[in-house]
Amino acid sequence: MKIGLTYDLRAEYLEQGYCEEATAEFDSLETIDAIDAALRSLGHATDRIGNVNSLIRRLALGARWDLVFNIAEGMHGYGREAQVPALLDAFEIPYTFSDPLVLALALHKGTAKRLVRSIGVPTPDFAIVRGDSDLDAIDIPWPVFAKPIAGGSSSGISAASKAQNKKELARACRDVLDRFQQPVLVETFLPGREFTVGLVGTGKKSRVLGVMEILLSERAERSVYSYCNKKNYLSNVSYRLADNDEAQAMSEMALQIWNNLGCRDAGRVDIRCDGDGKPNFLEVNPLAGLHPVDSDIVILCRLLGISHLDLIGTIVQSAQERVPVNPTTAN
């Protein structure tokens, strides 16, 4: 097949003056090179398209592809991850990963939590803060945790995100509102262990790859899988596979969430336990990072003995199975 690659290259945004944390979700050239090389190793021809603006220009000029491998996160709005898939839908071009509706719903953490709660999956009590006036109305158990409602890659998350009282919460919320210009999700802090569940496939063909526990070292920021801890994961974080009854329960929970939301091809569900050890849904990432070394789903695959090449191959195969792709002489 001729496969186009859509992505947001982090270096391009840094050159435009965006800061490191604001571009945390975007991809390095190393990631694009690795995906490109994997696709070519699988026998496909590749075409690097770039971000949504580049895609618009290419489509207007008549370019077409048999499949687009899409990892573009977008920069602005709740629909930023949905922009590329929406365009590709309009031109009837198949692509990897979830559709625009799923990506927009999953990105807005408050909406995702409401939907997940509606299917009976536990998630921490929460509130949404859009300004100072919302702080007085918060009535959920302390301590609480504050983070950007549509952030990714732990951007906006630090030790200061955990608040013991209204003064600390106000400080944390104002920081997010000022720096990220978006509402704040405030939820009851869960003191238990943290896990991520990797999944592949779509619908009845969906399956759990494995469950990985995230362990913070003594050098790490306390209690949270923060932006700093992720960035310095070699010294601050260790990872191990979970393989017991608890992991089985998390697998079933993650698969229920994955299929009820309509996620496709590959991604992650993040879970944290409460004080009684009961797993709770935190968020779903249907457009997970694919850096060949340090993205969570890639680390999980490495622990399972699954190569980056095999992961990319599984994603492409899943896309082909749900939307049969017939190679053409696309421009």
- Using one digit for the tens of pLDDT, what is the confidence trace for 19-58? 887 888 899 999 999 999 999 999 999 999 999 999 999 9
- Using one digit for the tens of pLDDT, what is the confidence trace for 309-318? 999 999 999 9
Q: Which residues pair with 127 in a beta bridge?
A: 186
Examine the pLDDT at 326 and tell me if it is beyond 80: no
pLDDT value for 90: 97
Contact 123, 116 (CB under 8 A): yes
The span from the CA of 74 to the CA of 69, in Å, is 15
- Using one digit for the tens of pLDDT, what is the confidence trace for 238-271? 999 998 899 999 999 999 999 999 999 999 999 9
103-107, 135-139, 226-230, range with greatest mean pLDDT? 103-107
Q: How confident is the model at residue 230 (pLDDT cuts 50, 70, 90)?
A: confident
| Over residues 4-23, mean pLDDT | 91
Instruction: Name the average pLDDT for the chain.
Output: 94
| Over residues 322-326, mean pLDDT | 74
Helix %, strand %, coil % of the chain (to 5): 40, 20, 35
Examine the pLDDT at 81 and tell me if it is beyond 80: yes
User: Looking at per-residue confidence, does 310 or 223 come out higher?
Assistant: 310
| Over residues 164-169, mean pLDDT | 95
pLDDT value for 60: 97
Burial tier of 178 (Cβ tally within 10 Å: 0-12, 13-18, 19+): exposed
Contact 273, 108 (CB under 8 A): no
Examine the pLDDT at 328 and tell me if it is beyond 70: no
| Over residues 55-70, mean pLDDT | 98
CA-based radius of gyration for the chain: 19
Q: Which domains does the chain have, with CATH numbers?
A: 2-97 (3.40.50.20), 125-188 (3.30.1490.20), 191-319 (3.30.470.20)
Which percentage of the chain shows pLDDT scores above 70?
A: 98
Examine the pLDDT at 126 and tell me if it is beyond 80: yes
pLDDT value for 331: 52
Contact 6, 49 (CB under 8 A): yes
The span from the CA of 302 to the CA of 330, in Å, is 35
pLDDT value for 329: 46
| Over residues 186-212, mean pLDDT | 97
Q: How confident is the model at residue 273 (pLDDT cuts 50, 70, 90)?
A: very high
Examine the pLDDT at 322 and tell me if it is beyond 90: no
